[in-house]
Structure formats: structure tokens, C-alpha cells
Amino acid sequence: MGFSSVQFLFVFLPLALAVYHLLPARARNGVLAAFSLLFCLWAGVRYALLLAAFALVHWAFGLALARPARPRGLLALAVVLDLALLAFFKYEGFFAANLNALLPGALPVLELALPLGLSFYTFQGISYCVDVARGEAAPERNPLRLYLYLAFFAHVSSGPILRYGDQAAALDPASAQRRVDADRFAYGIKRFVLGLAKKTLIADQLALLHGAVAGTDAAGLPAPALLLGYAAYAVQLYYDFSGYSDMAVGLGEMFGLTMPENFDYPFLSRSVGEFWRRWHITLGAWFRRYLYFPLGGSRCSLPRTCLNLLVVFLATGLWHGAAWQYLAFGLWHGVWICAERLGLSKLLDRLPRAVSHLYLVLVMQVGFVFFGAPGLAQALVALRGILTWQAGAPGMTLAPFADPKLLLLLAAGIALSGPVQALAPKLRGWLRGRAAPGAAGAAVLLLLLLAGIMRSTAGNYTAFIYFQF
């Protein structure tokens, strides 16, 4: 049940809002917990119970880690258990398949279904335990509040990844941070509607173009079709995930819980390092705080710093999926991050903005081919086809993929991914501004809402891409 599904829009969300705001404040955490459990139950009873048990175990870990005389190795145990849980469900099949290629029959390939949101709430569980052990956050003594931190339906499936210390005060339903007035609720609606429009009007439509290209053998496609399909995927992925993040922020505001921003117009970047400070911001922050800094960060020698960066980006790639293409995706970005650290960034700073921006677009587009291809082999074939500007199989042309409506939508999506906002600061301010919209703004939002609902009910609903991670 995604945020753009009919069930969520017409049943789950209206019911949750009505029950939450009609009941007294002391009951609201229970309401949110119940609806969050129901949201997870939609994905499967076993996995909903797994998340509930996960929250209970981390509640106990937090209490134990806060004691001055906590057992040695307790934090390490908590982190290992979290990583083991993630590895079992997400990577067992990948590791077993690759080991069996070398040693046939060494391990069974279990092919387990990935529990909803596992990659996200395991990282939140690790950050909670580490922050409590470091004394950066007080342990939560109410297990219900910790469950909400981990499993609130607005962020459980695809983030953003939260730090407990940033959420702790608002988890008290009687706190000032939890109060929802008319302006805050209107802001939540605005962000939700904008996210819905991103998902349904742009991402889901561009998915048709990318799907047509990715579903065809790359060796037989002409280079323009490959380039078009994976350019569409880059834009689709941005609108899909940033749309989800906007909806998560909006939902949080409607229920009095502030979610951190996850995107800051990444396609306006001029370097790979800047891109990753603007794209999936909370994931980058997590890796910096809990992997890069413990490895030594940039306090080491330059070669060691580059090694730390490569480790972080390999881990980032592996986090996205259990496949070689995601490791290649992470390694590709890690290499360019290191190159920028070794001096390329100074050169980029001296170049005209257009040139450094073109560099970023080219690097990221290669990365999106790795990310969006059916597998590593197809990604390499597609990249070779683009670089050699292959003609494709006889009779294969660009025409089947060049739908004028989709091409126009792709152009509009590129323009609205940052360039228009950079040229129109007032529009940028309105999109993120917390002031209640005027009559014109309300009319625009109403039209976007109606258009988004029409697309959601037209039978072409697709799940958010990051649900698979």
C-alpha cells in the first residue's frame, strides 16, 4: 500500500487523520502505532511482527546501553544483530548464488521476500543504539514511542532515515513540537500533494519510457534509444523518490512529526561530492556519522581518506541492492569522489559553471545506467552501445520509444528538477514555504491533487522504486 494507491488515499489516510485528531492527545501515540502496524500488516503479518519485535529488542538494548556498567561488547552485539538481520533477508540469496558459482551446492538460495522498510529501520536501530551508547541521546523508556520512531507509517517504507535525538521531543504527544495548527496542517497537505504530483504525473509516466528500453536487449537498441531510456530513468528516479520524501514530510506535518528533508535539487550540483550532499541526504548523513567518521574520515592521510571514501561508497552501493550492478554504482561514484578529493574539485571550481555542471551530468548518467539496468551485464552492454553510438539491430529505430507526450514530459521534468527553481527563487520559496497558500496557490494544489488522483485511479499505479531496497 503506497502513498499514491487508492487504498491509502481514500481509506487509510482519511481514517487515520480523523481518528488521530478526534481523540485526546494522550491517545494519539497509540493511534499512530495502531495505524503504523496496520500499514505494515498490509505488506505481511510476519514482517509486521518482525518490526514490532525489532522495536522491542532495541528498546531493551537502549536501556541497557545507557547504564554506566553495561556489559562490554553490548553495542557491538546490537550492531552485529542489526546487520545480520539485514544480511539474512537482503543479501543471503546474492551471497549464496555467487558462492555456489564457485562451490556448487555450498549454500541454499532461500530467495526470501524483503520485509517492508528493512534497510531503513535497521539503520535507524543502529543509530539509536550508537547514539545512546555515546551519550548523544537519552534512552527511550516508553516502548511505544520507540516503535513510532522506527515504524511510523510516513517513513517506515523508504525513509527518510531519522536520528532518535532529533525526534525524541516530538514523540511526546503533549509536547509543543507535536501541536498541529491550521497553517502546519495546510503545509503538510501542500507537501503531500506536490509529492503525489511528482510520483503520478511524472515518475510513473517516465517509467513507461524506461521500461520499454530496459525490457529490450541493449545490444539490439540504437544508441539514441539507450540514451533516452536511461535519461528518463534518471529523471523518473528523482521524481519518484523525492516525491515519496515530499509525501513523507507532508504526512509527518499532518500528525505533528517533522521529517528531515531528503533532497535539495541535486541536479543543480557541479561535482559528485555536492550531488551526494543534495541526494538522499539522510542516507549520506548516516554513512558519514556511523561509517566514514569511525574509519577516520578526512583526518587521515590523503590515501587513507580516499580509501575511507571508497569503503563508504561501496557500502552505499551494496545498501541499495544485492546485485553486482549496485556495487558498480557505488564504486563508480567513489572513484570520482576520490578524484575530486585529489584535485579535480579545484579544477571544477575554476571552470565555467556550465562546464562543471556538464561533467556532473555525464558522471551521474553513467551511474544511473548501472542503477537502472536489469543487471550489470546489461548495464555494460548499454554503456558500450552509447559510447560507440551503435546502430542497433536491423530495423530497430528510435521511433518506438519517441512518444511525443513522454518526450515533452521528460523535458518538463528536467526543467522542473532545479533549473526553473534556480531561475525563479519565489517559486522555490513557495514550494518549501510554510505559509498557508493563497487563492492562486490553493487552486494549483487542487488541480494537482485532482490530476494525481485521476492518475492513481487510472490503473497504472506503480510502487515507489525505493520499496525494493
CA distance 139 to 186: 33
pLDDT at 465: 86
CA distance 350 to 364: 21
DSSP 345-364: HHHHHHS-HHHHHHHHHHHH
pLDDT at 76: 96
307-336: burial string, b at 16+ Cβ within 10 Å, e else: bbbbbbbbbbbbbbbbbbbbbbbbbbbbbb
- Say which residues have a Cβ less than 8 Å from residue 318's Cβ, sequence separation at least 6: 91, 326, 327, 330
Q: Mean pLDDT for the chain?
A: 94
Kindly state the helix (H) or strand (E) to which residue 239 belongs, with its residue range.
Answer: helix 223-254
Which residues are part of the catalytic machinery? 320
In a domain, 44, yes or no: yes
Residue that the C-alpha cell 502496524 belongs to: 37
Given 139, 163, 179, the domain boundary residue is 179
For the chain, how many structural domains are there in total?
Answer: 2
Residues 271 and 354 in one domain: yes
Residues 47 and 146 in one domain: yes
In a domain, 26, yes or no: yes
CA distance 292 to 310: 10
CA distance 130 to 137: 9
- Nearest by Cα to 1 from 50, 55, 44: 44
Given 139, 155, 179, the domain boundary residue is 179
Q: Provide the phi-psi class of 6: left if phi over 0, else alpha when psi is between -120 and 50, else beta.
A: alpha
172 and 102 Cβ atoms separated by less than 8 Å: no
Q: Cell numbers of 453, please?
A: 488522483
Residues 158 and 222 in one domain: no
Residues 230 and 203 in one domain: yes
Q: pTM, whole model, 2 decimals?
A: 0.95
Q: Which amino acid is at 62?
A: G
Q: What does the DSSP 8-state code read for residue 140?
A: P
Residues 238 and 154 in one domain: no
pLDDT at 69: 85
CA distances for 194 relative to 245, 409, 430, 452, angstroms: 10, 16, 11, 9
pLDDT at 110: 83
CA distance 214 to 189: 35
Residues 281 and 425 in one domain: yes
pLDDT digits (tens, 9 = 90+) for 205-237: 999 999 999 999 999 999 999 999 999 999 999
Q: What does the DSSP 8-state code read for residue 298?
A: T
pLDDT at 459: 66
Q: Cell numbers of 389, please?
A: 553510438
- Domain encompassing residue 65: 6-179
In a domain, 1, yes or no: no
CA distances for 135 relative to 68, 89, 124, 127, angstroms: 10, 31, 16, 12
pLDDT at 295: 96
- State the distance between the two ends of the chain, measured CA to CA, in whole angstroms: 16
Given 133, 158, 179, the domain boundary residue is 179
pLDDT at 354: 93
CA distances for 61 relative to 149, 151, 326, angstroms: 15, 17, 32
Residues 289 and 316 in one domain: yes
Residues of the chain with pLDDT under 70: 459-461
Q: What does the DSSP 8-state code read for residue 286?
A: H
- Say which residues have a Cβ less than 8 Å from residue 5's Cβ, sequence separation at least 6: 456, 461
